[in-house]
Amino acid sequence: MEKFTTLTGIAAPMPLVNIDTDMIIPKQFLKTIKRSGLGKNLFDEMRFTQDGKEIPDFVLNQPAYRKAEILVAGDNFGCGSSREHAPWALLDFGIRCVISTSFADIFFSNCFKNGILPIVLPQEAVDHLMDDARKGANARITVDLESQTVTASDGQTYGFNVDPFKKHCLLNGLDDIGLTMEKADSIEKFEKTLAQSRPWV
């Protein structure tokens, strides 16, 4: 998993509330177990017509936001079913951070496991960042995980809270497998000891 330390990037404004996981990645794209390749179907029903043409008004289809790495979203982002494909699709598109006033619990947890930083801020802070994001590609937001701050293009800075363990994992690029591999020496030692003491196992 890629480390998350500091990110300065284009933020796309998505003021809709209750953006659920089916909106993020519709159910017909859940047949794969690969984490890659889902970015092209991110927000599929909002990005494309039924015959596959781009909908120009959708924010991620607009030239200023095609390379967005941050989403500033409405309340209760990631609600609905618990599909892990939702953060997979966001990450594959290039989104590394989502800022909102609240997230669905399972989606929130899945983001950390997949290298995405979900940030909860008060409504007035989200409103300010949403307005900042509407300025387009020239207005870049900076997210610093180490200092736990979000800085708008005008220099206004907001602090956010993050669980210390989840912060450690993101800063060091550790998913569940990475965390296990940190204990590789202890696991190998245990297996050798077990093999000697219980060779019939």
Q: Give the pLDDT confidence of 41-76 residue by residue, as tens digits.
A: 999 999 999 999 999 999 999 999 999 999 999 999
Look at residue 182 in the predicted model and tell me its pLDDT. Answer: 59
- 136 part of a folded domain: yes
State the pTM of this model: 0.87
Percent of the chain with pLDDT over 90: 76
Q: How far apart are CA 75 and CA 82, in angstroms?
A: 17
Q: What is the CATH number of the domain that holds 116?
A: 3.20.19.10
**Structural domain count of the chain:** 1
Asked whether residue 201 is domain-assigned, the answer is no
Torsion over CA: 15, 17, 21, 22 (sign): negative
Within a domain: 123: yes
pLDDT of 32? 74
pLDDT at 198 over 80: no
Does 200 reside within a domain? no
- 181 part of a folded domain: no
Chain mean pLDDT for the chain: 91
Whether residue 188 has pLDDT greater than 70: no
pLDDT score recorded for residue 184? 58
pLDDT in tens, 129-152: 999 999 998 889 999 999 999 999
Between 149 and 187, whose confidence is greater? 149
Average pLDDT over residues 76-82: 93
The domain of 67 spans 6-173
Q: Is residue 188 part of a domain?
A: no
pLDDT category at 127 given cuts 50, 70, 90 is: very high
Question: Any idea of the CA torsion for 83, 19, 110, 166, to the nearest 10 degrees?
Answer: -170
Query: Is residue 110 a part of any domain in this protein?
Result: yes
Across 18-27, average pLDDT: 95
Tally of helices (H runs) and strands (E runs) in the chain:
8, 7
| Euclidean distance between CA atoms 5 and 89, whole angstroms | 21
Tokens of 119: 């940030």
CB 162 within 8 A of CB 148: yes
* 192 domain residue, yes or no: no
pLDDT at 34 over 90: no
